[in-house]
Each structure stands twice: as C-alpha cells, then as structure tokens.
Structure 1
Amino acid sequence: MGNKVSKKNAMAIIAVALVSFSGIMAETAMNVTFPALTKYFNTSLNAIQWVTTAYLLSVTIMITTSAYLNKKYSPRVLWLMSLLLFTIGTFIGGLAGNLPILLIGRVLEGMAAGISMPLMFNLIVRLVPGSKIGLWMGIGAMVVSLAPSFGPTYGGALIDTLGWRSIFFILLIIPLISLILGWQTIIPGEQIKSNVSFDVLAFGMLSVTLTTALILINQLGKGTVNVWLLIVMLLALGAFIFRSLTSQQTFLNIRLLSNYKFSMLMFPVVLYMFANLGINLLLPNYLQNVLHTSSFWAGISLLPGTLLGGVLNPYFGHLYDKYGNKVPLLLGNTVFASSLLVMAYFIKSLNFSAFIIMYMIFTLGRNLAFSIGMTASINELSIDKKTDATAILQSSQMFMGALGTTVAALYGSQRGGLAIGFENFLWTLLAIALIIFVMFFIRLRSKSI
C-alpha cells in the first residue's frame, strides 16, 4: 500500500487538476475567437488581445504568491478559492456586454489558474509516495501541456456553431465535476502557520511593474510612448529590486537570478513560452484571415502539434535521465530554429496542411528544449532554493506568455497586414532561437552543463 496512490488521493489531485486544465484551456480557446470579437466589440486586434494578455498577467501575478499561500492555507481552502474565482469569472465572461467586463471575467479566471496550478503540483508532492512521484509529476505536466491543444479546437468548434459565449458557459460544467470529486477527498487539514509575513509592498511593486510594462508595449501599436507610464514602470521596478534585496518578509527570492546555472537556462525557457503563445495567437488568425480557413479548422491546426508535444513529455524526461541536458537542449533548439526558418522563408507557399506539419515540428523542438531546460534549471539547485526557483520560473513564463501575445498582436496589426506581420514575427523568433544557441554554448564552454 505504501507504494500505491489511494483512490482518495488520486481523486483529490484530479479535482485540482481539472481547475488547472479548464483555466489553461479557456486561455487558448479564446485565441480563435479574435476575428469574431473584433467585429462584435467593434475594436482592433491590438485591443482584443488583452483577452489573452489580461488572463496571463493575472496568472503571473497570482503565481508569485503561491509559496506564501501554500504556507498559510490548507489545500482545501485554496482549492475552493480557485473554484469560486473560476466560476464567477467564467460566468461574467459569458455574460459580458463589452470588452472591459469580459476582461474582468478573464482576470478572475487567471487568478483561479494561478492558485490551482501550483496547488496541483504541491498536492502531488504531499500525497504521492516517492516511488510514484515521477509518474504523477509527469501526469501533472501532461495536464498543463495538453490543455492548450484542446482550447483552440474547443473554441473553434463552438464559435462556428453556438457562438463565443458558449465557450464560457459550457466550461461551468468543470467546476461542478471538480466539486463532486474533491468535496470528500480534499480534506480540510490544519492551517499551516508561518512566522514569516507576506511582503505586500514587494508584491504591489512587481504587479505595477508587470502591468505598466505590458501597457507600454501595447501602446507601441499606436506609435506612441507614454513617458509618465515609463517612469512609473522604471521606478516600480527599481523599488521592487531594492525591496526584494533588503526585506526580511516572504515573496520572490530574486537573488537566484545571480546564479549562473539557473539564469542561463531560465531565460531560454521563458523565451520558448514567448514564442509558443505568440505563434498560438497569430497562426489561427493568419489561417482565418489570409488563407480563409474556418474558425473550426483554424483551431484544429494547433491540435496535432500540441498533442504530440504533450504526449512525448515523459519520453523527453527519459532523454534527460539518459543523456543529461546537453544533447536534448541543442537538439530541441535546432529543430525549433529549423521550423521557424522554413515557415518564415516559405510562408507564401505554405498551405493549411503544411502549416500543421510545421507547427508539429515547431512544438516538438520547443517542448524538448523547454522541458529539459526547466528540469535542469531546478534540478541543479539545492533543496532550499527549489521552491523559489519554481515560483520564479512559473511566474516569468506566464508574463513572457502575456508579452508574447502582446508583441504578436502588434506584429499582426502592422500596416502591411497580418500576412506581413506574421512573417516578420517568425523572423524575430528565429533571431531569438539563435540567441538561445549562444546562451547554451556559453554554458557549455563554462562546463556547467
């Protein structure tokens, strides 16, 4: 029995995983609705992309509090909190009559995902015996990896039949299932008492920094730079860094960024997230607006690639165990860069089927380097630093994902049109892939890998 996961514990993990899955799926499901939403709300793609960006920003900010929340509250309290936020946010999103109300719903959904994702992995660590921890961590990673693949297909199918509001209302079934599975299995437990207080000031400063940064970048689409907003961002960033280095209260341990082994893998990992969510926004819109594909088939275009990447995640872990991180990192980034080169150079001659194949190759390379890089960056740290490293990685990934959607929307709104914008974005990602090569080779020469 000591080597088995009880039915009760398995159901508890699944109950929390459902909230994480639905939150991530809701994020990607909205990408294929952008053409319809721009018409419905009579606005631009640059404004509509905040449907995704606001969600990711909300997840980012919430994840930064995860270490503190897990010290202060029981899993049951956090699970119920995420359920309530997701239900209210999804209901508001489905009823939204204007863009600001829709964004409020998305922010609440993001807060729910920001609580449930770290909680899912925390429950796995607490409830699964050591002999099964690898399997269940793989299952957790698969939930996070596969959810984005179902989102565009789910959204594309519904927007062509029942309309974009149905994307929200049908999702309300998932919190109900989670409640049924978790009510008797996620036990109240004792509240964890911590003598270390939460650094509200540092949290507020980081939130202001991230929010103003995205607004500033978004405004570049209008050809303007708000100087006062730039000053606020720089002051908030400086104050956050100073506060983090001097405060004794609990928040993010940014001193980890000075750790060469960690930072030289962290930056490639977050750049892969930037690339992934940027393409996930532009490709379905390119297929609809340039190749005149239906919303349903535009959503389907991402499914084979993301499914392939998610299913192969356990095998990628095997490669790490067998070869270390040198070969998988270089191989993954080579495949990643090659796919971008082909798509950028031959974009005018690629049809729908060709884009599906190229996206599969893109995801294969990206997922290989991404998963190995994330594992290696944390694995080389001492135990007392792993929690902080995980929080930094997860929060920075979400922010870079939000940044990716914002930048991609700017490219898509260029005067030359979506076709030119998508091509230029692909060339930009290829340049990023080359920068990642430089990071890997610098690390190789230092004999850190």
Structure 2
Amino acid sequence: MDLKDVVSTRVKLSILAVGLLSFTGILIETSMNVTFPTLTKDLDVSLNTVQWLTTGYLLLTTIVMSTTAFILKKFDPLKIFIFATSLCLVGSIICFSAPNFTILLIGRLLQAIATGLSTPLMFNLIFEEIPVSKLGLYTGLAGVVISLAPALGPTYGGIINKAWTWREIFVGVIPLIILLAIIGWFSIRGKASGTKGVSFDYLSVLGLAIIFSMILYTFNQAGSYNFISWQFFLAAVLSVIFIGLFAWYNHQSKRQLIDFSILKLPVLRLRLFSYFSLQFINIGLSFVLPIFAQTALKLDSAQAGLMLLPGSLLGAILGPYAGHLYDKKGATFPLLISGLLITIGSAMFWFKSNDLSLMSITIIYIIVRLGFNFGFGPSLSDGSMQVQGPKKSDQNSLFSMMQQYAGSLGTNVLSVVISAAALTSSSKNEVLNTVLGAKNDFILLTILSLLVLVSVIYVHFKYEKNN
C-alpha cells in the first residue's frame, strides 16, 4: 500500500471527535421534537412557540454554516473545535437547568452555533487530510453522522422523556461532549489558510438570514391560507425580490461570504442539487412518516420512531460502502443506484398511501434509506472534486449550509402540504386529511427523486462519458 494512502490514527481521531460533536447536536435537535407536548405543559407555552426550538435552531445553524468559508480560512481548526465544544457544553447545561422557555431557547441557540461550526469543520478535515483514494469512504462515514442522527433522535428523546424527563436528554450528552473535547484537543492539527485582504461580509450574512427566513415564511403562509392565497403569493414575490437583491449585491461586492462563482461549474451545481434533494427527502420523510403513523395508523410515539430504525441502521452501514464504490468506480454507479432506489421507494409510498401499514412503511423506508445513503456521500465527494485550493472551503461551506437548510425546508414544506390539504378538503376528518396530505407529500418527493435520477444520467452522458 502506498504510504500516501495511509490515514494516521491522529487524523482518524480528529475526524471522529468533530463528527461526533456534530452528531450530538443533530441528535438533540431531533430528539426534542417528541417532547413538544410535554414542554407546552411544563413551560406553559403554546405549540407554535415551542416549535421555535427546532425552527430557530435550524435557521441559526444554516446561517452559521454560511459563514464557515471565511471562518475556516481565518481560524485554526483546533480553535474552532474548542469554541464549538464549549458552546455545546454550556448550551446543554443551560437547557438542562432552564426555568422557562426563553432560557431553554437561548441554550438551544448556543448549541445551534456549535453544530453550524462542527459539521463544516468535519468535512474540511476530511478534504484537507484524507487522500483522494479514500475520500469517498470518509465522506460516506461523515454522511452516516448527518443521516443517522435525525433518525435516532426521536427514539432517544422518546425513551428518555418517558423514563425520566426531557431535561435528561441534555444530561446524557454532557459526558460525551467532555470526552470529545479531550480527544479533539490532542488530535486536531492544521493551520488556517488566511484571509489576507479579505474582510468579513456582514451584509451577506444578513441577506442570507433574510432569504432563508422569507422562504420558510412563504411556505408557512401556504399552510395557513393555502397555496392560491394572496398571502402566499405576496410572500413568494418578496422572497424572489430578496434573492434578486442578494444576487446583485454578491456580484457587485468585493467582499464575499461564499464564492458563489463555483456554481458556474455545471457538475458541482448538479451534485449540489442531488445533495440538497436527498437531505430534503431524508428529513422530510422522518417528519411525515411518524405523523402519518400516529394519526392514521393510531400507533404510539415509540412505535412511530422505531419503525424508522431498521432503515436508518441499514443505511448507515451502507454509507461507507457507497463511498468505497465511489473511490473505485466513480460517481455514476452509486448515484445511479441512489436515484433508482429513492424514486422506487417514494413512488411506493405514493401508490400505497391509502393502505400503508407499520410493516409496509418499515420496508419501503429501508429502500428509501438505502437510496439516500448510496448517493449522499458520493454527491458531496464528487462536488468537492470539482474545485481546488482555497475554493474547497467555499464548496464545503456551501454544501454544508444547503444540506442543513434542506432539512429545515423539507420539514417546513411537507408539513405545509399536509396543512394545505386540510384547508382545501371538504372533510373535517383528521385521519382522512392526514392521509390526503401525506399522499401529496409522497407525490412531491417522487417528482424530486426523478429529477435527482435525471441529473445523474445527464451528468454521465454530458460530462463524464467523453472524458
């Protein structure tokens, strides 16, 4: 074996430390969702207020990720890691002891900053220290971190909340955070590339925050008033205006938060579309299926969470293998399998939406999760191969930011579709309206899956076959 292809124990431990810190943040985020009914009673707030624990968390994480292209160039990896670990630890202690909702939200927002820093840092360590011959394998392992935590979160949160209280969710991760801080302190190395002559673009951060918030707000209007309402139309127009203004500013400004010019690279652009879409489908289904199971099938929260577990575990096992396939055969083969499986799985959910059962959901979800993990890591790996040098941090930041926002948008859009179905339905039956809304969700996900498959085939014949 070529010594250049050997990955040292120190590098493995550094990636492990940062990866598990990111895993912890995502795990807590999704485990809190099952505690919302309890929190409304304990903290005497409405469900709409409690949901900001997730919405605010995801939004701030996305915004922080948008800054990491600059931060990764400005600060050494160890300094970023220690800062993120400290915030995660302090945030956990605040959440555990929070006497009211406001303090709990502050703790969650501190943890959001930690996750927003740790996820891009994990991929940056991989891109900087892992040889090209093993890039697919390690991005596959990193994909496990991102994809497994959301599926395990509801199970972890449900069990802890049932056995003790929601506060113990935070207690359980504190020893792990301390252990990761120690491992990272001794293993993380590297120097920042520097930002000489480049200043931080605060206006871009503000612009992205407004755009991301406006898009979520736009779909919320559809959930409240329907997709054909003037409220939705007005919000959509405002979103387009803000996006146009941001594009104009980014083109004119000499300062750049992220070098969006890398989107001119067609293969990178299409791999980003696949990466975003797969996460949209992944997080979206992990939201819709438990609601469907509890409302339409009358399952309890534990059963609804556990039915996703087989697919999540099998997908996690497959992730590194998919990365290995990418290293050996290139991007087309694993991405083609991914596109086929998620399209088949989404279509099966659509066609069987009226007679889904616990067993059929579990089996179909396995198909979708295998498709997700076949494509998630290779999409990122192939995207990273399209750029070189300092632009890799821009690519890393862009992909990390968009996968995080994909989860937020996936949850938002699919929940809005269910709400809109109830608004337009002549029936007041909650079960029938949930089934109808879920079916519309499955149709949307099937179309998106087909587009992912088409993008893979297009890249192969347009850019890869003749190379």
- Scaled to the shorter chain, the TM-score interval is 0.7 to 0.9
Task: Give me the whole-angstrom Cα distance separating, in 1, the residues matched to 2:233 and 2:441.
Answer: 26
* C-alpha contact 2:137 2:327 (8 A) present in aligned 1: no
For residues 375-386 of structure 1, the aligned pairs below 5 Å read 375-383=381-389, 385-386=391-392
2:150 to 148, 151, 172: 148
For residues 94-109 of structure 1, the aligned pairs below 5 Å read 94-96=96-98, 102-109=104-111
For residues 292-331 of structure 1, the aligned pairs below 5 Å read 292-331=298-337
1:339 to 333, 338, 345: 345
Task: Give me the whole-angstrom Cα distance separating, in 2, the residues matched to 1:128 and 1:436.
Answer: 28
User: 154-163 vs 135-144, which deviates more?
Assistant: 135-144
Task: Give me the whole-angstrom Cα distance separating, in 1, the residues matched to 2:218 and 2:280.
Answer: 17
Q: 1:73-120: CA deviations, max 9, x gaps? A: 122321122122223333444455665654443332221111011222
User: Are 2:284 and 1:278 aligned?
Assistant: yes
2:22 to 15, 20, 23: 20
* C-alpha contact 1:155 1:167 (8 A) present in aligned 2: yes
Equivalent residue for 2:115?
113
Equivalent residue for 1:443?
459
User: 215-224 vs 413-422, which deviates more?
Assistant: 413-422
User: Are 2:203 and 1:197 aligned?
Assistant: no
280 and 100 in structure 1: CA distance in 2 versus 1, 3 angstrom threshold: farther
* Secondary structure of 2:273 counterpart: helix
CA shift, 1:20, in A, is 1.0
Q: 1:128-152: CA deviations, max 9, x gaps? A: 6778766555443433333333222
Task: Give me the whole-angstrom Cα distance separating, in 2, the residues matched to 1:34 and 1:347.
Answer: 27
1:430 to 442, 446, 455: 446
Task: Give me the whole-angstrom Cα distance separating, in 1, the residues matched to 2:413 and 2:240.
Answer: 20
User: Are 2:379 and 1:373 aligned?
Assistant: yes
* C-alpha contact 1:52 1:405 (8 A) present in aligned 2: no
Task: List runs of 5+ in structure 2 lacking aligned partners.
Answer: 423-429
CA shift, 1:317, in A, is 2.1
302 and 96 in structure 1: CA distance in 2 versus 1, 3 angstrom threshold: farther
* C-alpha contact 2:137 2:322 (8 A) present in aligned 1: no
* C-alpha contact 2:143 2:377 (8 A) present in aligned 1: no
423 and 30 in structure 1: CA distance in 2 versus 1, 3 angstrom threshold: farther
Task: Give me the whole-angstrom Cα distance separating, in 1, the residues matched to 2:453 and 2:210.
Answer: 32
* C-alpha contact 1:56 1:110 (8 A) present in aligned 2: yes
Equivalent residue for 1:59?
61
* C-alpha contact 2:136 2:377 (8 A) present in aligned 1: no
Task: Give me the whole-angstrom Cα distance separating, in 2, the residues matched to 1:232 and 1:304.
Answer: 42
132 and 234 in structure 1: CA distance in 2 versus 1, 3 angstrom threshold: closer
Q: 1:228-287: CA deviations, max 9, x gaps? A: 765654443223211221222231122222322222232122111111111111212222
For residues 62-73 of structure 1, the aligned pairs below 5 Å read 62-73=64-75
* C-alpha contact 1:49 1:405 (8 A) present in aligned 2: no
For residues 379-398 of structure 1, the aligned pairs below 5 Å read 379-383=385-389, 385-398=391-404
Task: Give me the whole-angstrom Cα distance separating, in 2, the residues matched to 1:117 and 1:109.
Answer: 12
User: 277-286 vs 247-256, which deviates more?
Assistant: 247-256
Equivalent residue for 1:215?
217
* C-alpha contact 1:9 1:185 (8 A) present in aligned 2: yes
Equivalent residue for 1:30?
32
* Secondary structure of 1:250 counterpart: coil
Structure 1-normalised TM-score? 0.88
Letter matched to residue 424 of structure 1:
N
Structure 2-normalised TM-score? 0.84
229 and 91 in structure 1: CA distance in 2 versus 1, 3 angstrom threshold: farther
Task: Give me the whole-angstrom Cα distance separating, in 1, the residues matched to 2:439 and 2:389.
Answer: 43
Letter matched to residue 438 of structure 2:
F
Supply the RMSD in Å over aligned alpha carbons. 3.1
CA shift, 1:363, in A, is 0.6
User: 25-34 vs 263-272, which deviates more?
Assistant: 25-34
* C-alpha contact 2:73 2:192 (8 A) present in aligned 1: no
User: 236-245 vs 132-141, which deviates more?
Assistant: 132-141
* C-alpha contact 1:261 1:448 (8 A) present in aligned 2: no
* Secondary structure of 1:312 counterpart: helix
CA shift, 1:309, in A, is 1.3
Equivalent residue for 2:426?
none
CA shift, 1:387, in A, is 2.8
User: Are 2:422 and 1:420 aligned?
Assistant: no
For residues 121-140 of structure 1, the aligned pairs below 5 Å read 121-126=123-128, 136-140=138-142
Equivalent residue for 1:246?
252
* C-alpha contact 1:28 1:152 (8 A) present in aligned 2: yes
* C-alpha contact 1:59 1:110 (8 A) present in aligned 2: yes
Letter matched to residue 428 of structure 1:
L
User: 263-272 vs 91-100, which deviates more?
Assistant: 91-100
For residues 250-261 of structure 1, the aligned pairs below 5 Å read 250-261=256-267
Q: 1:143-170: CA deviations, max 9, x gaps? A: 3333333222211211222233322332
Letter matched to residue 254 of structure 2:
Q
50 and 439 in structure 1: CA distance in 2 versus 1, 3 angstrom threshold: farther
Task: Give me the whole-angstrom Cα distance separating, in 1, the residues matched to 2:350 and 2:16.
Answer: 40
CA shift, 1:19, in A, is 1.4
* Secondary structure of 1:30 counterpart: helix
CA shift, 1:69, in A, is 0.8
